């Protein structure tokens, strides 16, 4: 709940006083203003997560909520620590992505070489069967069988 200064006893959105029954949240952005959760359109489940900040920090999570004004002005609502964390995670994701792309390329190359090998074997078999006087259809053609 906000402190007793007159500015913090009012919701920054609706300008109504807070009561002890109200669910309220403070903007973690630059403005540090307080809002009714209904005015801020924060669902109850998200509000509970925001309220469990100490528990979330223990788990290594950073839970913040910023008002629309602070979100619309990113230069005011930036958190250098969080941005650094995000950059670090994005870097790791980039490494994982590079690894996965390499693995996919390896699989595609193996598949191509297996296809080339299969075609060579097929050609050899077709040549051997043709020598014996019969023709073997290509494995890539479809056949319609009729009664």
- CA pair distance 70, 126, nearest whole angstrom: 72
pLDDT on residue 56: 61
Secondary structure (DSSP) of 27-86 = --SSS--EEETTTTT--HHHHHHHHTHHHHHHTT-------HHHHH-HHHH--HHHHHHH
Helices (H) and strands (E) in the chain, counts: 5, 2
Q: Which positions of the chain have pLDDT values less than 50?
A: 6, 147
pLDDT on residue 118: 92
To which H or E segment does residue 25 belong?
strand 24-26
Phi, psi for residue 70 in degrees, rounded to 5: -70, -35
Tens-place pLDDT, residues 85-111: 888 888 888 899 999 999 999 999 999
Question: Which two tokens mark 56?
Answer: 């979330």
Tens-place pLDDT, residues 34-44: 999 999 998 88
pLDDT on residue 20: 87
pLDDT on residue 107: 94
Most distant pair of Cα atoms in the chain: their distance: 101
Q: Are 30 and 69 in contact (CB under 8 A)?
A: no
């Amino acid at each position: 709940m906000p402190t007793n200064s007159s500015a913090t006893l009012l919701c920054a959105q609706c300008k109504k006083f807070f009561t002890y029954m109200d669910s309220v949240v403070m903007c973690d952005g630059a403005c540090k203003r307080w809002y009714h959760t209904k005015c801020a359109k924060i669902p109850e489940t998200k509000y509970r997560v925001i309220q469990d900040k100490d528990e979330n920090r223990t788990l290594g999570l950073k839970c913040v909520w910023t008002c629309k004004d602070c979100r619309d002005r990113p230069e005011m609502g930036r958190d250098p620590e969080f941005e650094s964390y995000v950059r670090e995670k994005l870097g790791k994701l980039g490494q994982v992505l590079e690894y996965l792309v390499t693995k996919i390329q390896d699989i595609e190359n193996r598949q191509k070489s297996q296809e080339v090998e299969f075609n060579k074997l097929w050609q050899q078999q077709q040549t051997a069967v043709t020598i014996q006087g019969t023709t073997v259809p290509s494995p890539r053609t479809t056949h319609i069988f009729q009664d």
